[in-house]
Amino acid sequence: MSILNPAMESISRNERKKLQSERLRATVKHEYDNVSFYRERMDKAGIKPEDIRSIDDLHLLPFMEKNDLRDGFPFGLLAVPQQQIVRIQGSSGTSGNPIVTGYTEDDIEVWTEMAARALAAAGCDTNSVVQVAYGYGLFTGGLGLHQAASRLGSMVIPMSSGNTQRQLIMMKELGTTILCCTPSYAIYLGETARDMGILSQLKLKSGCFGGEPWSEKMRAELENLFGIDALDIYGLSEIAGPGVSFECEVKNGLHVNEDHVIAEVVNTETGKPLPCGETGELVMTTITKTGQPMLRYRTRDICTLNDVSCSCGRTTLRMSRLAGRTDDMLVVRGVNVYPGQIESVLALVGGITPHYLIVADRRASLDNLEVHVELTEDMFSDTISQIQALENSIASQIKSVVGIQADVKLVPPRSLPRSEGKSKRVVDKRRI
């Protein structure tokens, strides 16, 4: 494990604040001068670029949200001439216009640097063989980790997602040492490798897993399956794809690349900034992106920030593991229910796997919440009464945390759907 850029990743906090403030001032002026949408929003709020003197003034700036990108589709939020945009990344979303982000050549370089820091923290170097099983295309996962591995001089296997048996054959025969994909797909790869009898023949040492929230229980399963270090990585195309933040070997939060982005956590309802240690919505501001800068972008991801120094030597803020998303929240019988709350209960229960599905339904005009959880192989052989007792125990714990009664259904091992991309944890049948 190594620090790729100690001058930036280990800089003193005072020096970092000076650098961030300088870059923030330049970005705000660039955005105000070149993006009419955001200039109008600042004018409406009574804010001019000269009002932003340091990062202490960041809270004065208006938020940006996903709907702003939809409304500005395709090029309404560009801050440079279209001829300077060398790549479009994004996602289709679930409704309305697609979400797209324009990258200049310099933006691609910044993104590559951030993702390379993440891979370096996972032990990636010229001796590594990196298998990228994230999707390629508009989704930033595949290209982001590919660029980073190439920057570090590694051999890259650009598998993309899917075709599991072929993934494993390549992994075995080419000697993959670092795997990059969603954590749920990594578990599926491990289970399939075990079924094929080749798990012990793999040479994996570590993995960079992201694209969806995951738990310590999933980390333990991945590390036990493969015998690797399983590290979290975070990114989003609106900001810079994978590498916005990443875990080091300490595995106690994701280091934010603060020389390129500023992270805040705000109250989900009021939008007011929260201090480190309090849980809220993650807000990101780019300070080196020129093609399509994002000022105070509401990510909808729920986490906390930690400013305590890390023993790895990095001095950057750390994000907690994502607790979920504000748009994943279910309202059941008037109670706000986050998947992360339920996952936190399941993480402490023995005899079950990390695989679960939350189903909201309506019965006789009343909301109902079901939680389907897979049993381990050992627990599946227990008596019906033992399994029922475990279901009742989990339901009781969920009620104490969430505040409503859920029907817990323990199901056989490997009976819940597996995904070759992002796992689907929530089904709201009330919307179907």
Q: Is it the case that residue 422 has pLDDT exceeding 80? A: no
Q: How confident is the model at residue 204 (pLDDT cuts 50, 70, 90)?
A: very high
d(CA 229, CA 128): 14
Q: How confident is the model at residue 154 (pLDDT cuts 50, 70, 90)?
A: very high
For residues 27-49, give the mean pLDDT. 98
pLDDT at res. 324: 79
pLDDT at res. 388: 92
Q: Which residues contact 143 (CB under 8 A, 6 or more apart)?
A: 89, 136, 241
* CB contact burial 263-276 (16+ within 10 A = b; e otherwise): bbbbebeeeeebee
231 and 178 in contact (C-beta within 8 Å)?
no
For residues 371-388, give the mean pLDDT. 88
pLDDT at res. 65: 96
92-99 CB contacts, 8 Å cutoff, 24+ apart: 92/138, 93/66, 96/67, 96/70, 97/70, 97/71, 97/73, 98/70, 98/73, 98/138, 99/66, 99/69, 99/70, 99/73, 99/237, 99/238
For residues 204-216, give the mean pLDDT. 92
Q: Is it the case that residue 104 has pLDDT exceeding 80? A: yes
Q: How confident is the model at residue 432 (pLDDT cuts 50, 70, 90)?
A: low
Q: Is it the case that residue 412 has pLDDT exceeding 90? A: yes
Q: How confident is the model at residue 427 (pLDDT cuts 50, 70, 90)?
A: confident
d(CA 58, CA 294): 13
pLDDT at res. 1: 66
Please state the length of the chain.
432
Q: How confident is the model at residue 111 (pLDDT cuts 50, 70, 90)?
A: very high
Q: How confident is the model at residue 93 (pLDDT cuts 50, 70, 90)?
A: low
Distance of CA 282 to the CA centre of its chain: 11
Better-predicted residue by pLDDT, 95 or 205: 205
pLDDT at res. 431: 67
Domain ranges across the chain: 1-323, 329-431
Q: Is it the case that residue 96 has pLDDT exceeding 80? A: no
Q: Is it the case that residue 94 has pLDDT exceeding 80? A: no
Which fold is adopted by the domain 1-323?
Answer: Rossmann fold (3.40.50)
d(CA 164, CA 167): 5
Q: How confident is the model at residue 140 (pLDDT cuts 50, 70, 90)?
A: very high
Q: How confident is the model at residue 425 (pLDDT cuts 50, 70, 90)?
A: confident
For residues 111-123, give the mean pLDDT. 98
pLDDT at res. 242: 95
d(CA 356, CA 352): 9
For residues 349-369, give the mean pLDDT. 88
CA angle 29, 30, 36 (to 5 degrees): 95
The pLDDT tens digits of the residues spanning 312-340 come to 999 999 999 988 788 777 888 878 788 88
pLDDT at res. 380: 84
| CATH code at 329-431 | 3.30.300.30
Q: Write the DSSP symbol of residue 173.
A: H
pLDDT at res. 85: 98
d(CA 165, CA 183): 17
- Of 129-143, 273-287, 383-397, 416-430, the one with minimum mean pLDDT is 416-430
Q: Is it the case that residue 169 has pLDDT exceeding 60? A: yes
For residues 85-92, give the mean pLDDT. 88
